[in-house]
């Protein structure tokens, strides 16, 4: 019997490829090359793997009349047109929890690196400036700060768990108050005003688009540090650059950007920012766990038409 056809969008690990090739006829689709997919190939596709950066556009979904399952290699699925997927009864799964610790560690890393000027001082040493110019200026410390978490979900809670050794006062904002001992702000600007550090870890998508705007950034203030490990568009990058240029914000640690992999030249030139190429979960161990769950969801679907970790919108579909 012929294997079901699976559309593969984006890069996966050799371990994942080995697993899916044993169950599926794999049809790779390089990013942005939807037009190269022939109609007869598109028609036989019943499954797909994609990831946060590419998602599954409405145009591509419309070209796949027999698509039944999308297994997202990552927890964020803002790039998948969920309204269309639900309407068509396409099951979508993702990889929650297995990456919480790694992404939380990344958020803390970006805060500490930015506060203590790790990238700038690394360059200082390498360029021989320590010998030439002496000790660089003092930085602000990281102990006893008020840290605000925007989006106290699975990863947000893992970030909060890491903060007590820093003596931090933990505050948070999300649409709903959570059953946690941390202080809740129902207004993001008010929270930013109370914070030394603001860590963004909400989903992307229309609801959170530019939720961190000029007003929020300025409320954080000239000594404040903004960390974004959520999605680029959660943060208004133009407002961020302007605030940093005019010293209305202290610094920023960024793992995600509005137009990845393009990073504004202005940000690249700034000493008070730490930049990473969307690698919050990108370790061998965590990507192995995410890859296993991505493949396990497909294996389960082949067995009985269900998945282990559906996205919330699909929870009632199985
Ligand atoms: P989660 O458990 O669903 O948590 C999301 C949190 O955001 C919830 O607390 C939710 O609370 C809050 N939220 C949602 N919409 C909001 C809004 N409009 N305003 C304020 N708060 C809002 O998700 P997770 O597993 O922690 O993952 C969060 C996101 O992190 C992912 O969707 C992804 O975009 C990003 N991520 C990035 C990386 C990376 O490599 N940088 C890796 C993994 C994940 P309420 O519902 O009460 O608002
Ligand atoms: C990955 C992510 O970059 O899980 C997410 O939402 O943003 C990251 O873990 C991505 O999905 C890689 O596949």
pLDDT, tens digit, for every residue of 189-217?
A: 999 999 999 999 999 999 999 999 999 99
- Span 78-99, pLDDT tens digits: 999 999 999 999 999 999 999 9
| Number of C-beta neighbours around residue 46 at 10 A | 17
Q: Is the CB of 154 under 6 A from ligand 2?
A: no
Please tell me whether residue 224 adopts helix, strand or coil conformation.
coil
Cβ–ligand 2 contact at 106 (below 6 Å): no
Decide whether any atom of ligand 1 lies within 6 Å of the 234 Cβ.
no
pLDDT tens-digit readout, 281-296 = 999 999 999 999 999 9
Residues known to be catalytic? 231, 260, 278
Residue 280 falls inside a structural domain: no
Give the whole-number percent of the chain exceeding pLDDT 90. Answer: 96
Question: Rounded to the nearest 10 degrees, how much is the dihedral formed by the CA atoms of 273, 161, 187, 83?
Answer: 90
Answer whether residue 149 is part of any domain.
yes
Q: Same structural domain for residues 43 and 155?
A: no
Determine the pLDDT at residue 318.
Answer: 87
- Per-residue confidence (pLDDT) for residue 30, from 0 to 100: 78
Domain of 92, in residue numbers = 5-98+285-314
Whether 73 and 113 share a structural domain? no
Instruction: Say yes or no: 44 and 163 in one domain.
Output: no
For 27, 108, 160, 230, the CA distances from 200, given in Å and listed in that order, are 35, 12, 12, 6
CB-neighbour burial class of residue 306 (10 A; exposed 0-12, middle 13-18, buried 19+)? middle
Q: How far apart are CA 103 and CA 159, in angstroms?
A: 8
Q: Say what the pLDDT of residue 232 is.
A: 98
Above pLDDT 70, what percent of the chain?
99
| Among 79, 34, 38, 33, CA closest to 56 | 79
Mean pLDDT of 209-226: 98
pTM of the model: 0.98
Same domain, 25 and 84: yes
In a domain, 112, yes or no: yes
Phi, psi of 12 (to 5 degrees): -130, 170
**What is the atom index within ligand 1 of the atom nearest the CA of 207?**
18
Find the DSSP H helices in the chain.
14-23, 39-44, 58-62, 82-88, 100-115, 118-126, 129-133, 154-161, 188-194, 214-220, 237-245, 265-268, 284-304
Tokens of 84: 């269309």
Tell me the C-alpha distance between 183 and 318, whole Å.
37
In a domain, 130, yes or no: yes
Task: Report pLDDT for 159.
Answer: 99
Q: Give the tens place of pLDDT for each residue, 14-57.
A: 999 999 999 999 999 976 666 778 999 999 999 999 998 889 99
CA distance 90 to 84: 8
CATH number for the domain spanning 134: value is 3.40.50.720
How many domains, the chain?
2
pLDDT surpasses 80 at 166: yes
Instruction: Pick the closest to residue 174 from 82, 164, 135, 159 (CA basis).
Output: 159
pLDDT, tens digit, for every residue of 102-119? 999 999 999 999 999 999
């Amino acid at each position: 019997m012929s294997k079901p056809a699976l559309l593969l969008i984006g890069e996966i690990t050799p371990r994942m490829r080995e697993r899916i090739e044993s169950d599926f006829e794999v049809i790779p689709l390089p990013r942005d090359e939807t037009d190269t997919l022939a109609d007869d190939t598109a028609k036989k596709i019943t499954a797909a793997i994609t990831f946060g950066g590419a998602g599954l556009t409405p145009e591509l979904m419309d070209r796949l009349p027999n698509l039944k399952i999308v297994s997202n290699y990552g927890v964020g699925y803002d790039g998948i047109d969920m309204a269309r997927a639900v309407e068509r009864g396409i099951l979508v799964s993702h990889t929650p929890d297995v990456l919480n610790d790694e992404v939380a560690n990344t958020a803390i890393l970006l805060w500490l690196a930015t506060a203590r000027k790790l990238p700038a001082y690394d360059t200082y040493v390498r360029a021989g400036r320590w010998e030439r110019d002496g000790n660089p200026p003092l930085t602000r410390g990281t102990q006893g700060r008020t840290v605000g978490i925007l989006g106290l979900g699975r990863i947000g809670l893992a970030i909060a768990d890491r903060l007590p050794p820093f003596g931090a006062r933990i505050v948070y904002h999300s649409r709903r108050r959570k059953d946690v001992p941390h202080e809740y702000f129902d207004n993001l600007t008010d929270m930013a005003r109370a914070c030394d550090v603001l860590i963004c870890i909400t989903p992307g998508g229309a609801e959170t688009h530019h939720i961190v705007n000029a007003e929020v950034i300025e409320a954080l203030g000239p000594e404040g540090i903004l960390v974004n490990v959520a999605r680029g568009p959660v943060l208004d990058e133009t407002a961020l650059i302007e605030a940093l240029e005019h010293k209305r914000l202290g610094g920023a640690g960024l793992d995600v950007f509005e137009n990845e992999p393009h990073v504004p030249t202005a940000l690249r030139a700034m000493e008070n920012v730490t930049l990473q190429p969307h690698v919050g979960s990108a370790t061998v161990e965590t990507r192995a766990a995410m890859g296993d769950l991505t493949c396990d969801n497909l294996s389960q679907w082949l067995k009985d038409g269900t998945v282990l970790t559906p996205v919330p919108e699909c929870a009632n579909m199985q």
